[in-house]
Amino acid sequence: MKVVGCARSVDKIEKLAAECQSAGYSGVLIPYKCDLSNEEEILSMFSAIKTLHQGVDVCINNAGLARPEPLLSGKTEGWRMMIDVNVMAVSICTREVYRSMKERNIDDGHIININSMNGHSVVPQSVVHFYSATKYAVTALTEGLRQELREAKTHIRATCISPGLVETGFAFKLHDNDPERAAATYESIRCLKAEDMANAVIYVLSAPPHVQIGDIQMRPTEQIS
């Protein structure tokens, strides 16, 4: 399998690609620089993938961010950033992936949206209320996608994976003016790890063709909300 990993900064992906290669893993991880808040860059990325690798068979919409912008006092810029990355980028990538699959008569592809438990419940923390709204949108988009794929009489599947607290750089982006608070987010409980998310993706992709996994909701055992 060839995996194209896109990000605004590809340093970490390049490092991971080197680690995978030195470990002797099968497959190839290909870093690609792309700002997912910019539609032109997204379309350019899909064009490059078509030219270099024919197309996309599996898409994992993993990008997401939160800004500390409450509903009553938040900055429009922060809201728009969350909409652009958490909702618009997911929708644009999904559309382009489906086109790629249809062009090549791929009938068994898979689109996986990395959602959040915040897309299923609203926690009493004002800094994540707008973020939660964008993740509720991902919940609706994934189910809408599933229905449209059925209407198109295709066997392409759509799945959400909705984690609770995962130890990533997410909190440091949310609390970028308070790194101590961000670090404390991950120190309070034993969080999910990136490996846990990867295992969930593998589980989804390993399901038999007749099995449609709609949503995996997973959180740390110690997490309350």
pLDDT at 37: 95
Q: What is the CATH number of the domain that holds 145?
A: 3.40.50.720
Residue 179 in domain: yes
Domain range for 176 is 56-218
Cα–Cα distance, 191 to 213 (Å, whole number): 24
pLDDT at 23: 87
pLDDT at 165: 93
pLDDT digits (tens, 9 = 90+) for 11-43: 888 988 888 888 888 889 999 999 999 999 999
Residue 31 in domain: no
Percent of the chain with pLDDT over 90: 80
> For residue 38, which amino acid is it?
N
Residue 127 in domain: yes
Position 177 confidence tier, pLDDT thresholds 50, 70, 90: confident
pLDDT at 173: 81
pLDDT at 205: 97
Position 98 confidence tier, pLDDT thresholds 50, 70, 90: very high
What rounded mean pLDDT belongs to the chain? 94
Residue 27 in domain: no
Closest CA to 134 of 84, 61, 59: 84
Residue 26 in domain: no
Do 91 and 148 touch, CB atoms closer than 8 A?
no
Distances (CA, A) of 151 to 109, 148, 158, 189: 16, 5, 13, 43
Would you say residue 184 has pLDDT above 90? no
pLDDT at 192: 95
Do 62 and 79 touch, CB atoms closer than 8 A?
no
Would you say residue 7 has pLDDT above 90? no
Element at 216 (helix H, strand E): strand 215-218
Residue 146 in domain: yes
Residue 141 in domain: yes
Would you say residue 225 has pLDDT above 90? no
Catalytic (active-site) positions: 131
Count of domains forming the chain: 1
Instruction: State residue 215 phi and psi, 5-degree precision.
Output: -155, 135
Cα–Cα distance, 18 to 201 (Å, whole number): 22
Do 53 and 2 touch, CB atoms closer than 8 A?
yes
pLDDT at 145: 98
pLDDT at 11: 87
pLDDT at 88: 98
Would you say residue 100 has pLDDT above 90? yes
Position 107 confidence tier, pLDDT thresholds 50, 70, 90: very high
